[in-house]
Amino acid sequence: MLGVDPSRLPPASQWQRLYEQMFDQPVEQRSSLLVSWLYEDRFLGFSTADKIRIRQQANMHLHITDASQRKQGIGAECVRQTVELYFQALKLKQLFCEPNAFNVAPNRTLQRAGFKYVKTHMTVPGPLNFHQAVNRWMIERG
């Protein structure tokens, strides 16, 4: 929950309706894209892409929800594969990720997955977050 404002979390039913409506749209028209991560047929976590500008750029978020699977290098592989999926599905040139600057795990994961550090700055990274320090990471394709 580091960086998430619990008061901004919508009820589960509202989230479900949002994603059901989104999944009915072609990928190119969606405001976000959701990727579930499985490890040995178990749900491990997920990634979302938002702030999508088709053929240009998007922002990704990453979450390993199964704490027992953290610190094993699985996250970096999930991120690598998800990056490829986002670049392919959204035809991107750049992909950004802005984890909380004080949350070491996702910052290390992004570096291991090939992202390059851009800067640290204060922002509200998404609709569920509060104003915070984040590290901006980027990965590009020719």
Q: pTM (2 decimals)?
A: 0.90
Q: What is the pLDDT of residue 8?
A: 86
Q: What is the pLDDT of residue 2?
A: 64
Residue 52 to residues 1, 76, 77, 87, 142, Cα–Cα distance (Å): 24, 22, 23, 11, 18
Pairing of strands 42-53, 33-39: antiparallel
In tens digits, what is the pLDDT along the chain, a chain of 142 residues?
Answer: 467 788 888 899 998 998 899 889 998 888 999 999 998 899 999 999 999 999 999 999 998 888 787 888 888 999 999 999 999 999 999 999 999 999 999 999 999 999 999 999 999 888 888 899 999 999 999 7
Between CA 29 and CA 49 the distance in angstroms is 13
Domains identified in the chain and CATH numbers: 32-140 (3.40.630.30)
